[in-house]
Amino acid sequence: MSKNSLCLKKLSIKNFATFKSEVINFDKGFNIITGETGSGKSLIFDAIQLVLGGRSDKSLIRSGSEFLCIEVFFDLHDKKILRYFEEQGYPSENEEAVLKRIVYANGKSKSFLNYQQCKLSTLQSFSHLFIDLVGQFENQRLLSNKYQLNLVDKYANILSDVDLYEGYFSQYKKLQIKITSIQQSEPQLRQQLDFLSYQLKEIENLDPSIEKENDLKTQKEFLLKSNTYKAVLTEIDNTLNSSSHSIISSIHMVIKKVKDNPELFSSINTEALDQAKSIVEDFSFEVSSISLDDDSEASLESIVDKLDIYQKLKRKFGGTLQNVLESTTKLKNEKNEIENDLDNLNSYIEELNSKFEKLSTLALDLHQSRKKSGLILSKNLTLLIRKLNMSGATIDIKLDVDKELGPKGITNLEFYAQTNPGEGYYPISQIASGGELSRILLAIRQVFSDKDTVSVFFFDEIDTGIGGETALVIGKSLKKVSKNSQVIAITHLPQIAIHADKIIKVDKKIRKSKSETRTQSIVQEISSNAEIKDAAIAMNPLLN
């Protein structure tokens, strides 16, 4: 990433604590924010934290206002960053990124990125990638072993390898948990398997379907009316065939009379009689073909039993036949999964062993890379902190191998320091003062300023606990970091301020009117070399 690929250009603050309405313009290099204690200079840091996704606090809304609004404008000079915004769905206009945060008096807030409302996490993701906010207590992060390990990984350029390892490790742990679960719960799994098999057999014996159930209902209704149907069939048969006065006998008699007296019926179409006879005889044959089950009571009982099983299954599996059919699929899947786990337990163990071997190799490779880079980083940090007036101090990054695989490998790592020659090495958490931690952190920033995606470094009073010649050295170091990245530092030390490309001076004014007295923070921008020197001398005349 090129120098100043992302640069904080402008900050707008409205109704924020003691700020009523201020616009602050920043230089692309080294910016200093200074002012008397309580003037509001650290509020600028708080405002930037807020707009980059920090926690909102309605108590920061200026008294008498309904909301506060923080807006920042970044210049973009890198295609990767422009592409980042496009991929996130917030394309940049005119190579500029605009972030905005509004907090209302009711505690609610809104976030905007490039003039589109967005989730707060979107602003936070942008911040984590490209901006480093180092508050007064941020150097405490340096005491974390996790943070220290990440620094070494970043310096070794193995973050992608660490990600690969973490992916394998996650799979390994999931498989390990699965195997342990199967082994510990095998008796219960086999009981569950028997229960699932019983439930499935109960359903499969019926082999239910919507069509079959409807057919059973139709058969039931038919059989319930079978006696009535028998009486109807008997009556029809008697009417058509029985006795000499049946319909068929009567038609035969009529046809005979017609045929015996053709001259009488010569004007009538007698073929209709033959057709009627044929139709009635066919109908009589079809009626006689209807067969009703002689054992209809037994058939009805069987059908009712099956319908009762349908109702039982519905009650058990959700109330409808569709629920029963869906449950069948779920039961089969669950049964198959348990059978598969029990049958494949040995293959799972073999897979786990294979993954362990793969992870062990990856972890060892990571450890070797860390060991090599940790040695180089130790030397570089030692050189830098000695230039920051910690003469005689030495940084030693100690590594040893853990017996078990961990989420980051097998490396146990901790930053040690010897602040006085011959006095021994101790974890920096035990011996380093606040000022020394600040200088170590600044040395780390110098090492990583040309390696990181971070383009903007913001230091809030990193000079705490130092002064004199050390402050001058820190000022020069911050200036050096600003050659590759924009640096914004809040300080009260003129020895640091004199190295700035721009000074933003914050003053607090008391404004009185007839109705009220209000406190207001205002800013003055100083950018010319002469003015910067004068401002620094004003902070401490001894610099002249």
| One domain, residues 124 and 241 | no
Tell me how far apart the alpha carbons of residues 16 and 299 are, in angstroms, rounded to a whole number: 86
| One domain, residues 127 and 207 | no
What pLDDT does 544 receive? 47
**CB of 292 within 8 A of CB of 226?**
yes
Distances in whole angstroms, Cα of residue 493 to Cα of each of 179, 441, 499, 539: 61, 18, 11, 8
**C-alpha closest to that of 507 among 525, 489, 495, 494:** 525
Tell me how far apart the alpha carbons of residues 427 and 395 are, in angstroms, rounded to a whole number: 10
| One domain, residues 474 and 538 | yes
**What CATH number has the domain bearing residue 92?**
3.40.50.300
What pLDDT does 401 receive? 92
Terminal alpha carbon distance of the chain: 39
Tell me how far apart the alpha carbons of residues 19 and 5 are, in angstroms, rounded to a whole number: 30
| One domain, residues 122 and 222 | no
Domain-ending residue, one of 300, 316, 341: 341
Domain-ending residue, one of 341, 356, 373: 341
What pLDDT does 332 receive? 85
What pLDDT does 137 receive? 46
Domain-ending residue, one of 305, 324, 341: 341
What pLDDT does 293 receive? 63
Asked, for residue 34, whether it belongs to a domain, the answer is yes
Asked, for residue 361, whether it belongs to a domain, the answer is no
**C-alpha closest to that of 483 among 501, 497, 469:** 501
What pLDDT does 140 receive? 59
| One domain, residues 95 and 214 | no
Burial string for 261-282 (b: 16+ CB within 10 Å, else e) reads eeeeeeeeeeeebeeebeebee
Which stretches of the chain drop beneath a pLDDT of 70? 1-4, 132-141, 226-227, 231, 244, 292-298, 432-435, 449-454, 461-466, 536-544
Residues 6+ apart with CB under 8 A from 22: 12, 13, 521, 522, 523
**CB of 413 within 8 A of CB of 145?**
yes
What pLDDT does 449 receive? 63
| One domain, residues 129 and 220 | no
Tell me how far apart the alpha carbons of residues 243 and 237 are, in angstroms, rounded to a whole number: 11
Write the burial class of residue 128 (CB in 10 Å: 0-12 exposed, 13-18 middle, 19+ buried).
middle
| One domain, residues 216 and 318 | yes
**CB of 78 within 8 A of CB of 1?**
yes
Tell me how far apart the alpha carbons of residues 496 and 34 are, in angstroms, rounded to a whole number: 10
How many structural domains is the chain composed of? 2
The parent domain of residue 15 ranges over: 6-136+453-543
Tell me how far apart the alpha carbons of residues 343 and 382 are, in angstroms, rounded to a whole number: 58
Tell me how far apart the alpha carbons of residues 262 and 270 are, in angstroms, rounded to a whole number: 10
